[in-house]
Structure 1
Amino acid sequence: MVAAGHPRFDNWARAWAEASIGRYLFNTVLVVGGALLLTMLFGALVAYCLARYPFPGNRIVYYTLVAGMLFPVFLALVPLFFVVDQLGMLGTYHGLILVYTAYALPFTVFFLHAFFRTLPTAVAEAAFLDGCSHAAVFFRIMLPMARPGLVSVGIFNFLGLWNQYLLPLVLNPDPDRYVLAQGLAFLAVSQGYRSDWSGLFAGLVIAILPVLVAYILFQRQIRDGLTAGAVK
């Protein structure tokens, strides 16, 4: 008999293989990675245009996006379900990626809009005088200058999307495409009959590790990005 408190590494292997934590982790990395890439690209483009280019309706577009942060996601679940279903994307990776992107976009635009407004205009004007196009100025000059803000909002989005449970619960009914939050909830319910609590807690640790590692590695970048956006 193994004494209480003795480490059992076979719990990790059982959670990874038998409890399908490995498949759930792969699904989560695929969905969150794709959504994060699209969110950062589109969010940076929209925030830059709204911050640096005055045009009719600029403020209307900006405040409409900001208002999306105040809209409870619970109220959108039913119409969102029917929209995704009619588009044939219910229970698919790309459907969940697009919904995640739309969910994270308002906060990304709100965060980066204030950051892009603090960047010096003289650098962009000098680039235009040298013959750079608007796209070249954005991707080659302004985007690298906004790196602290991009890292900060990227980490916030990663943490929020990684722990997302409500959206995949409604829009992802396929067990083969469960993300970690869904998979762990399913395991927690099933443990009432199997009593494999050690495997469940090993799966919880596996789910927590990526978030913990991301926070440890990028905590300084998050602090520097928030400080830079506040004092410039």
Structure 2
Amino acid sequence: MSLDTRAAVTVDPKAAKQIRATKSTNSDKVVGGVSHVVLALWSLVVILPMLWTLLGSFKTTKEIFKSPFGLPANWNFDNYVNAWVKNNFGPMFLNTVIVVGSALILVMLLGAMCAYVLARFSVPGSRVIYYLMLAGLTFPVFLAIVPLFFVLQGMGLLNTLPGLIITYVAFALPFTVFFLFSFFKSLPYEIQEAAYVDGASEWRTFFQVMLPMAKPGLAAVAIMNFLGLWNQFLLPISLNTNQDNYVLSQGMAAFASSAGYQVDFGAMFAAVIITIVPVLLVYILFQRQLQGSVSQGTSK
């Protein structure tokens, strides 16, 4: 490249400095200030109750009523032991992991396969199937409780973990297909055709070529499905009345209501922390994938 050409493409330092130093308008400053204030208030609304619950999980019931905002006199894990052992939260935690883990694996596999076919192939009725999936997102869950009850009863799966897993999969499948559809639709067709030329079958092309390319979308929808299924309350409380198969959301409700006015609030707060810690850990560990994938999926 000649010196003249270099001079022509070189950015003027003064001009670049002026661009960087461009002042925001008054309206931008007002919007930014209001946004920061609202976010700060919202953060306090979310963080302070969680912090209060965490401190209460180390107190006795008497301490909680005597000094609700003070520090615990003794930092011990007696409340966590009581919640885990005496109030049966250990088996309920295991049931929740089994149900949510199995449902998440199934819904991600089935949802990815369905979204891939709808997005990449001209199947007769594919648009109808896609719009039916979208309609499933608008259908209130509580309207399906009675039909689901009789369907599971007829299948012999009422009040069982497999029945709850199937229900969770059906509940999360429309959102999974809707979210992954745009990711598979945006993948270049040249790569798919190159896999066919190399002799790859449809299954191998999907699992070894196309699925890894949609990994950002898979990570995002897996996290959101995990959050939704872990906190699900209406479905298990309606379709799973066997106490041996209770999940954590049911256990929390039963714990809070069974003791009446004699609730062990320290143990109850410990149970709340046990319930929400896995959700917080998953979100903290994978929040980068969630933020990047959502913006990528919704913009395509």
Same fold (TM over 0.5): yes
Partner residue in 1 for 2:127: 59
Partner residue in 2 for 1:194: 262
Aligned length: 232
Larger-Rg structure: 2
Q: Does 1:229 align with 2:291?
A: no
Partner residue in 2 for 1:215: 283
Q: Which amino acid aligns with 1:134?
A: E
Q: Which amino acid aligns with 1:87?
A: M
Change (3 A) 1:20 1:145: same
* 1:9-57 residue CA offsets vs partner (Å, 9 max, x unmatched): 1111111100111111100000000000000000000000000001211
Cα distance, 1:186 vs structure 2: 0.2
Distance in 1 (alpha carbons) for counterparts of 2:162 and 2:152:
11
Question: Of the candidates 121, 124, 127, which is equivalent to residue 192 of structure 2?
Answer: 124
* Percentage of pairs with the same residue: 53
- Select the structure with the greater relative contact order (CA < 8 A; seq sep ≥ 6): 1
* 1:53-89 residue CA offsets vs partner (Å, 9 max, x unmatched): 0121110011011100001111111111011011100
Partner residue in 2 for 1:185: 253
Q: Which amino acid aligns with 1:117?
A: K
Q: Which moved more, 1:1-10 or 1:34-43?
A: 1-10
So what's the TM-score if we normalise by structure 1?
Answer: 0.96
Q: Does 1:105 align with 2:170?
A: no
Q: Is the 8 A contact 2:159 2:241 kept in 1?
A: yes
So what's the TM-score if we normalise by structure 2?
Answer: 0.75
* 1:131-187 residue CA offsets vs partner (Å, 9 max, x unmatched): 000110000000000000000000000000000000001110100110000000000
Give matches, 1:1-232, under 5 Å. Answer: 4=67, 5-6=71-72, 7-230=75-298
Distance in 1 (alpha carbons) for counterparts of 2:263 and 2:128:
55
Superposition misfits of 4+ residues, deviation over 2 angstroms: 1-5, 227-232
Distance in 2 (alpha carbons) for counterparts of 1:168 and 1:221:
29
* 1:88-112 residue CA offsets vs partner (Å, 9 max, x unmatched): 0011111100010000000000000
Q: What are structure 2's unaligned runs of at least 5 residues? A: 1-58
Q: What are structure 1's unaligned runs of at least 5 residues? A: none
Distance in 2 (alpha carbons) for counterparts of 1:47 and 1:69:
15
* 1:186-229 residue CA offsets vs partner (Å, 9 max, x unmatched): 00002324331110110000000000000100000111212332
Distance in 2 (alpha carbons) for counterparts of 1:231 and 1:184:
39
